[in-house]
Amino acid sequence: MFAEVIIDQDAKALDKVFEYIIPQDMDLQVGMRVLVPFGKRQLQGFVIKIKDNCDYDSEKLKKIIEKIEDFAAIKGEMLEIMNFMAKKFHLKLASILRLFIPAEMREGKVKELFETYYCLSKNAQINISKSAKRQLEVIEELKNGEKSSSYLGDKYGYAPLKALVEKGYIEKEKRETKRTPFVIAQNDKRVNLNEGQLDALRRIKEDKTYLLHGVTGSGKTEIYMNLIEKVLQNDKNAILLVPEISLTPQIMSNFKSRFGDNVALLHSGLSAGERFDEWKRLFSGEARIAIGARSAIFAPLENLGIIIIDEEHEGSYISESNPRYDTHSIAQFRARFNKCPLLLGSATPSIESYQKAKNGEYELIELPVRANGKSMPPVQIVDMMEELRRGNSSIFSNQLIADLANVINNKKQAMIFMNRRGFSSFMRCRECGFVAKCINCDVSLVYHKEDNRLKCHYCGKQYKVLAQCPNCKSKNIKYGAVGTEQIVQKLHEIFPDVKILRMDNDTTSTKNAHQKILDEFRNTKPCILVGTQMIAKGHDFEDVVLVGIVDGDQGLYQTDYRSSERTFQLITQVAGRAGRSESEGKVVLQTYSPKHYVYKFASNYDYKGFFRKEINIRQTAGFPPFTRLLRILFSDFDENHVRDLLKVCYNEIAMLKEEYGDQIIYLDAMKSPIKRLQDKYRYQIMMRLKLEKADEIENKCFEIVNSASKNWVFFEVNPQNLS
Ligand code: ADP
Ligand code: ZN
Ligand code: ZN
């Protein structure tokens, strides 16, 4: 018998199937990891096929040395996913297979944890002298059932245990124990579902994709839980994906409370041991619901009854580091494979997904009102240009300060939100609000400090830095953003006696820091919480009556076609934090572009209006979902080498234009905005394609690049971030 093996190595040359002889006495299964001879080395690999005949000369084939584990870590469905991903995202096979098992398992760093348990021996005539007090205590303790060695050892010492075993009074047994992440389980709170929720439950049952568009607080989570409950009753399993940022203790506790040990959590806050054990609990069928961030889509569950992606619009569902993939397509693949529903939920669906719902590709389900009947808090737009004209050049408007003072007097709470995604900064005139844009692409230009120039991240065009506003001639034209730290400091000056907390990447780098800040906020009144994206999601604070958005434009003039969409999503999300319970809420949104359509629609919570406007703009400008953007990223330590490679590939790809004509809307080669990363020089080919032939052209490009390069080259479709 022979095995097809994929070598677990990074080299491009090894990224193919190798054949090995299976030793006579080896009980090998597809999906097992093995050690194989390779040249003079011994390498690890994955068995992807077992067969009777080999394709190469069997005389020359070598034998598999041994199995690494005794079980097949990769199940049949995963091999299908591997093939799908390799084709769709142009990835190396080994790099895909690695996604399917915990990293620690490959490195051999974690193993099962075994623990010894003691119990009373059956039928033993126990006769212990009164002086052996500890031994008597252990016996008493064990009358209530078995206890672990570490527990007993801590309490009574190990000597009495040993003595009792020798006398045959107690027995020990070694067993695997699971390291489970600690979650506070509360009482499971059941609610009576409303008509909208019941309707959703009735509809979501077929083998297709549903888009659940429900405003914040409309009870989507409750729907997820009910759907999963039904799935378990039908003896099937479920995957729930949430963005890492909203894997809050709150949501985990909700699910643990209802589903107990059926839930396995997969997120970055776990220790290596915990992650390994949670994975194994899923693998063995002990846990049947995988909840986690994007990589949980690879949960080792079979027989799926539903896959749910919450906050489906979140950019974090696209993996932007290698291997690059987008979670939606994999979820769709798995759902079709298992013939089960895929549910995408959001208060602000991505333009792409909503368009698919409009086209009938997805089934749209709407929940237009909050479950508690409360209306969304009113949004007041404050024109910061007007503030400037009135002589207020601080980062806070008079309105925001007045509202904050009010909150403080009433011993309530406020959140101040600062959007600071990415590092790029745009140039803006402080007098008239003018923002420098690319003449070709209509996206804001990015200021590049190192060569003091403005650049378009889509077409590469460069512009001189503006000394003066072309619109109003003012010299007060600046780039850069205010940070959370600066906001806290200014607030301290204005409200010296008020507790002000800060939550951003800097203050939450240590374990549990996140939770500590939130706990402190919960217990302090009055209090102001200043934060980034992190405060935008999933937190339910009853006494937050004011949300301030310091600089709404910060996201708006980011340099990509999704800027408006992201800004709309963020404002809606942040606004959803205010007035969640009895107290009335309010949102103050500061902007230098008060007339921008994003603010008009966001302040009215008008998603549909926003969608209509935005989809029109995308169509006119020729951006996704009407076209496909493709970035081919080359990187290497040797700059000359990348540049040569880029040139060769570019020339060949340019020849495709003859065949495909205007199917290729745009094609150019350039340095990447981040020219050097981890010591590697980065160059890129940017393309914009019409959808009709996009797959075909993309595949041809891949063939060209793949045969020209000795290293792996990365393809990105509609990238979230063009750095
Ligand atoms: P979403 O996920 O859409 O933001 P949630 O599911 O978190 O909304 O629900 C928001 C709040 O409303 C929660 O406190 C939840 O317990 C409550 N809730 C949900 N459904 C109902 C219902 N049918 N009746 C009463 N309260 C509900
Ligand atoms: Zn441009
Ligand atoms: Zn100006």
472 CA from centroid of ligand 3 (Å): 4
Residue 389 has a pLDDT of 79
Pocket test for ligand 1, best of 216, 254, 372, 607 (most atoms within 8 A of CB): 372
The answer to whether 580 and 542 are in contact (CB under 8 A) is yes
Residues with CB under 6 A from ligand 1: 191-194, 197, 214, 216-222, 371-372
Confidence of residue 49 (pLDDT cuts 50, 70, 90): very high
**Ligand 1 nearest-atom number relative to CA 347:** 3
**Phi and psi of 104, rounded to 5°?**
-65, -25
Q: Crossing angle, helix 398-409 and helix 484-494, to 10 degrees?
A: 60
**pLDDT > 90 in the chain, percent:** 51
Write the pLDDT tens digit of every residue in 305-324. 999 999 999 988 988 777 88
Identify the residue with better confidence: 177 or 129: 129
- Which residue from 5, 13, 58 is spatially nearest to 34, judged by alpha carbons? 5
- Which residue from 98, 114, 117 is spatially nearest to 106, judged by alpha carbons? 98
Closest residue by CA, ligand 1 atom 15: 219
Q: What is the mean pLDDT of residues 120-136?
A: 85
Residue 481 has a pLDDT of 58
Residue 110 has a pLDDT of 64
Q: 351: burial class by Cβ within 10 Å (0-12, 13-18, 19+)?
A: buried
The answer to whether 526 and 413 are in contact (CB under 8 A) is yes
Q: Which two tokens stand for residue 497?
A: 């006696």
Residue 455 has a pLDDT of 77
Identify the residue with better confidence: 58 or 43: 43
Confidence of residue 700 (pLDDT cuts 50, 70, 90): very high
Identify the residue with better confidence: 509 or 156: 156
Residue 582 has a pLDDT of 61
**Ligand 1 nearest-atom number relative to CA 192:** 23
Got the DSSP string for 185-233? ----------HHHHHHHHHTTSSSEEEEEE-TTSSHHHHHHHHHHHHHH
**Residues written for the chain:** 723
Identify the residue with better confidence: 16 or 457: 16
Write the pLDDT tens digit of every residue in 202-239. 999 999 999 999 998 899 999 999 999 999 999 999 99
Residue 671 has pLDDT above 90, yes or no: no
Which ligand ends up closest to the CA of 457?
A: 2
Buried/exposed 297-310: b ≥16 CB within 10 Å, e otherwise: bbbbbeebbbbbbb
437 CA from centroid of ligand 2 (Å): 8
Identify the residue with better confidence: 333 or 178: 333
Distances (CA, A) of 151 to 116, 177, 218: 10, 13, 46
- pLDDT, the chain, mean: 88
Residue 704 has pLDDT above 80, yes or no: yes
Residue 581 has pLDDT above 70, yes or no: no
The answer to whether 687 and 633 are in contact (CB under 8 A) is no
- Which residue from 570, 553, 701, 581 is spatially nearest to 633, judged by alpha carbons? 701
Write the pLDDT tens digit of every residue in 449-459. 667 788 776 67
The whole-angstrom separation of Cα 654 and Cα 686 is 12
Closest residue by CA, ligand 1 atom 9: 219
The answer to whether 395 and 486 are in contact (CB under 8 A) is yes
374 CA from centroid of ligand 1 (Å): 11
Residues with Cβ < 8 Å from 641, sequence gap 6 or more? none
Residue 421 has pLDDT above 60, yes or no: no
Q: What is the mean pLDDT of residues 237-254?
A: 82
- Which residue from 230, 173, 159 is spatially nearest to 201, judged by alpha carbons? 230
The whole-angstrom separation of Cα 438 and Cα 441 is 5
Distances (CA, A) of 208 to 213, 307, 354, 363: 16, 11, 15, 8
The whole-angstrom separation of Cα 246 and Cα 539 is 8
Residue 103 has a pLDDT of 81
Q: What is the mean pLDDT of residues 356-381?
A: 93
Q: Crossing angle, helix 639-660 and helix 694-708, to 10 degrees?
A: 150
Residue 378 has pLDDT above 70, yes or no: yes
Which ligand ends up closest to the CA of 476?
A: 3
Pocket test for ligand 1, best of 187, 191, 201, 246 (most atoms within 8 A of CB): 191
Write the pLDDT tens digit of every residue in 521-579. 989 999 999 988 777 765 678 888 999 998 777 666 656 788 899 889 988 988 888 86
Residue 424 has a pLDDT of 46
Which ligand ends up closest to the CA of 186?
A: 1
- 3-state SS assignment for residue 103: helix
> Tell me, what DSSP letter sits at residue 179?
-
Pocket test for ligand 1, best of 197, 216, 222 (most atoms within 8 A of CB): 222
The whole-angstrom separation of Cα 312 and Cα 346 is 6
The total of other beta-carbon atoms located within 10 Å of residue 468's CB is 12
DSSP-derived pairing of the beta strands 113-120 and 147-148: antiparallel
Residue 713 has a pLDDT of 87
592 CA from centroid of ligand 3 (Å): 11
Buried/exposed 658-673: b ≥16 CB within 10 Å, e otherwise: eebeebbebbebbbbb
Identify the residue with better confidence: 245 or 96: 96
Output Rg (C-alpha) for the chain, integer angstroms. Answer: 29
The answer to whether 301 and 278 are in contact (CB under 8 A) is no
- From edge to edge, which strands make up the β-sheet containing 41-51? 17-21, 2-7, 41-51, 33-38, 66-67
Q: Which two tokens stand for residue 386?
A: 């007007």
- Which residue from 645, 634, 644 is spatially nearest to 686, judged by alpha carbons? 634
Residue 2 has pLDDT above 60, yes or no: yes
**Ligand 1 nearest-atom number relative to CA 193:** 23
Residue 422 has a pLDDT of 37
Q: Where are the alpha helices (DSSP H) in 437-556?
A: 484-494, 513-522, 553-556
Q: What is the mean pLDDT of residues 584-590?
A: 90
Residue recorded with tokens 């010591």:
679
Residue recorded with tokens 């393309």:
687
Residues with Cβ < 8 Å from 211, sequence gap 6 or more? 312, 344, 345, 346, 349, 353, 354, 356, 357, 362, 363, 364, 365
Distances (CA, A) of 568 to 390, 445, 642: 28, 20, 39
Which ligand ends up closest to the CA of 460?
A: 2
